Amino acid sequence: MEYELTVLVHPDRESELEKALDVVRSLVTTNGGKVVKEDNWGKKKLAYRIKKQDFAIYVLMDVELPAAAPLKISNALNISDDVIRYLLVKVDAKERARLEAAKKNQPDDEEE
């Protein structure tokens, strides 16, 4: 099944970001999944303070996971020092296909 995993990495880990992300990637792979796509959004200001932090490094991952994996990954991320918050949601395949089709049918602004 397809999931989107958004992790907010502790801002103090910015210099060791790859190390922190390797932990998240290994969580996915050791639980039988795979990372399909990864998008680092960089360091952003949080809407409200989380664990005494005003900033976090946002990373979005598209992952494929077996049915039992989300619970195991959630349990591990809950106790992680590197990740201050995460969101793991199941992707609705029909909705994603509809959005991509709509994006293809939009006229490009650059052609004007």
DSSP code per residue over the chain: -EEEEEEEE-GGGGGGHHHHHHHHHHHHHHTT-EEEEEEEEEEEEEEEEETTEEEEEEEEEEEE--TTHHHHHHHHHHT-SSEEEEEEEE--HHHHHHHHHHHHHSPPGGG-
User: Is the pLDDT score of 112 beyond 50?
Assistant: no
Are the C-beta atoms of 65 and 28 separated by less than 8 Å?
yes
Using 50, 70 and 90 to split pLDDT, how confident is the model at 109?
A: low
Question: Where does residue 91 rank: exposed (0-12), middle (13-18), buried (19+ CB within 10 A)?
Answer: middle
Q: What is the pTM of this model?
A: 0.80
For the stretch 79-99, pLDDT in tens is 988 999 999 999 887 877 787
User: From CA 110, how far away is CA 105, in angstroms rounded?
Assistant: 15
For the stretch 45-85, pLDDT in tens is 999 999 999 999 999 999 999 988 999 999 999 998 899 99
Q: Which domains does the chain have, with CATH numbers?
A: 2-111 (3.30.70.60)
For the stretch 28-38, pLDDT in tens is 999 999 999 99
For the stretch 8-44, pLDDT in tens is 999 998 899 999 999 999 999 999 999 999 999 999 9
